[in-house]
Amino acid sequence: MLHQKKIAVVMPAYHAEKTLEACYNAIPHDIVDAVLLVDDASDDATLAVAQRLGIHAHRHPQNRGYGGNQKTCYALALEAGADIVVMLHPDYQYEPRLITAMAAMIASGVYDVVLGSRILGKTAIAGGMPRYKYAANRALTFVQNILVGAKLSEFHSGYRAFSRRVLEILPLAANSDDFVFDNQMLVQALAFGMRIGEISCPTKYFPEASEISFRRSLRYGFGVLYTSVQYRFWKWKLARPRFLSARADLRLTPGASAGEAHR
C-alpha cells in the first residue's frame, strides 16, 4: 500500500513463459498488494509458471486479443478492490521497479494516469528499440499531440498506472480488443479530463520479448491516426464515436466473466 491505497499489478500475458518469472521477481512486492495475470489462451507454459509463482491467474478459453485481455485485467482489479492499478507486460521489456514511483504519482492525488515513457531520458534506442519503430513512434506521437491537443512524449507505451476512478469512469468496454485499445484508452482519458503524468522508463528489446509483426504495426498505426481523428471530430461536435460515449453500460463490470480462474 501507499497512502493507505491498495495497489494491484495486472499482467496481460501471451506466450510469456520465458520472461514471466524474472519480471515477477523484480516487482516491488513490499508495496504491491496483489498481482493479477490474465493468460490469453497461450499454448505454452505461461499459466503453469504463474501458478508456480503463486500469482492470481485467469485464463481466457479463446484468444481475445491484447485489448480484450486488458478488459479482463481491469475488471479483475476492480473486483479485487484495487485503488491503484499498474499494467505491466510480463515480457520484461519495462522496468518493474518503477511501479513504486508510478503508483506514488497516483497515490499523491496529483495524477489520474501515469505513463512509463521510453522517450523521456532517450533510453529507447539504447535499449534496442528498432529505429523504424522509434521513428514511427515519434511521428505518430507528433501528429496525435496536434490532433488531441496534448503534449505527451509518447502515446504508445504499454507501461501504465491508473487510479480506480479512471477504470470506473472510462467506457473501456467500447474499445477495440486489438492493440489500438491502449491508444483509445489514452484518448478517452484526455476526453474525460483525466490528469496524465509521465516518468522516464528504460526499455529492453531481446529475442524473448513480445513484438508484433510489421503488418500489424501498420494496422496499429492507421488505427491510432483514426482514433485521433475521431477525437478531433468529437471535439468539434461533428461526430459521436462510441468509444467516447459517457454511457454507463460501456463501463467495465468488476469480475472476470470472460476468464477462468486458476489459483
User: DSSP letters along 100-144, please?
Assistant: HHHHHHHHTTS-SEEEEESTTTT-TTTTT--HHHHHHHHHHHHHH
Q: What is the DSSP letter of 253?
A: P
Q: What is the mean pLDDT of residues 251-263?
A: 69
Q: Does the pLDDT of residue 262 top 70, yes or no?
A: no
What number of CA atoms fall less than 13 Å from residue 24's CA on the CB side?
Answer: 24
State how far the Cα of 135 lies from the Cα of 50, in Å rounded to an integer.
35
State the pLDDT at residue 259: 53
Q: What is the mean pLDDT of residues 239-252?
A: 97
Per-residue pLDDT tens digits for 153-171: 999 999 999 999 999 999 9
Q: Which residues pair with 35 in a beta bridge?
A: 9
- Between the CA of residue 224 and those of 55, 142, 172, 213, what are the distances in Å? 33, 12, 16, 16
Q: For the CA atoms of the chain, what is the radius of gyration?
A: 17
Q: Does the pLDDT of residue 59 top 70, yes or no?
A: yes
Going from the N-terminus, what domains does the chain have, and what CATH number goes with each?
7-245 (3.90.550.10)
- Length in residues, the chain: 263
Sheet with 260-262, side-by-side order of all strands: 196-200, 113-117, 160-163, 84-87, 7-13, 34-39, 56-59, 260-262
State how far the Cα of 241 lies from the Cα of 171, in Å rounded to an integer.
11
User: What cell was used for 97?
Assistant: 521497479
Per-residue pLDDT tens digits for 97-106: 999 999 999 9
Asked if 102 and 120 touch (Cβ cutoff 8 Å), the reply is no
Q: Does the pLDDT of residue 224 top 90, yes or no?
A: yes
Q: What is the mean pLDDT of the chain?
A: 94
Whether the model clears a pTM of 0.85, i.e. scores above it, the answer is yes
State how far the Cα of 128 lies from the Cα of 154, in Å rounded to an integer.
17
Confidence of residue 215 (pLDDT cuts 50, 70, 90): confident
